Amino acid sequence: MAESAKIASQGGAGRQSLRHVAVIMDGNGRWATERGWPRLVGHRRGAERVKQIVRACPDMGVNWLTVYAFSTENWKRSTEEVLGLMKIFRRYIEREADGLSTEGVRMRFIGDRGRLDRKLQDLMRGIEARTAGNTRLNLTVAINYGGRDELLRASTRLAEKIASGQFGDRQPTEADLSDFLDTAGHPDPDLVIRTSGETRTSNFLPWQAAYAEYEFTPTLWPDFTPERLAEILDRFGLRDRRFGGV
């Protein structure tokens, strides 16, 4: 039996209600520092872990996976680390393009791309176009993403539409604002996982995750195996989601 199939067979009740998992991948730098290695070693190991989780998700019943790769606040890190991260992103796209296409993964990106270098932007557009017809797993990567920044950009665009009279006398709705978010057309996450033991959401999908369940695990991202994900999904299946009802 394939490893992913073994993991899927461990799943508990409630998996069918889980559609979208979002992950704050935290702890790469700490993982490397604890071993006396440069932080970028941890980021490279974290990218390898992404590949494993992506391959495991479909067999666990996860159709949408959104990962937080680089926030609008991460520019505050050292120039060496930021440049190293951008190189890792470019290399990941270049190396994984064929595999993602073969495995039926559709890859998309959210965040403000304007600050990213031109080569990375071109690679992002290219792999989005190449995988656009895939349906086995929807992989969304948040790069230069911040929830407040996204809401500001979306609100500005909505205000422009209102000012131009495109809504007429109709009042805008939550759905109208959602249409201007980076995640327009994506289902809201059912479950948000943060690794590394931190218990904050760090400006990740504040609008979309309003009714998501949260799981904070002490496991550092490079150590976050598909088996660990399966355990969390099993616990999710036991939760009672009421969405404000009784």
**Residue 200 annotated as lining a ligand binding site:** yes
**Residue 39 annotated as lining a ligand binding site:** yes
**Residue 31 annotated as lining a ligand binding site:** yes
Catalytic residue, chosen from 26, 59, 182, 190, is 26
**Residue 201 annotated as lining a ligand binding site:** yes
**Residue 94 annotated as lining a ligand binding site:** no
Angstrom distance (rounded) from CA 36 to CA 221: 17
**Residue 194 annotated as lining a ligand binding site:** yes
**Residue 77 annotated as lining a ligand binding site:** yes
**Residue 75 annotated as lining a ligand binding site:** yes
Catalytic residue, chosen from 59, 63, 74, 122, is 74
Catalytic site includes residue 74: yes
**Residue 29 annotated as lining a ligand binding site:** yes
**Residue 26 annotated as lining a ligand binding site:** yes
* CB burial readout 109-136, b (16+ within 10 A) else e: bbbeeeebeeebeebbeebeeebeebee
Residues forming the annotated binding site for Mg(2+)?
26, 213
- Residues marked active site are found at 26, 74
Residues forming the annotated binding site?
26-31, 39, 43, 71-73, 75, 77, 194, 200-202, 213
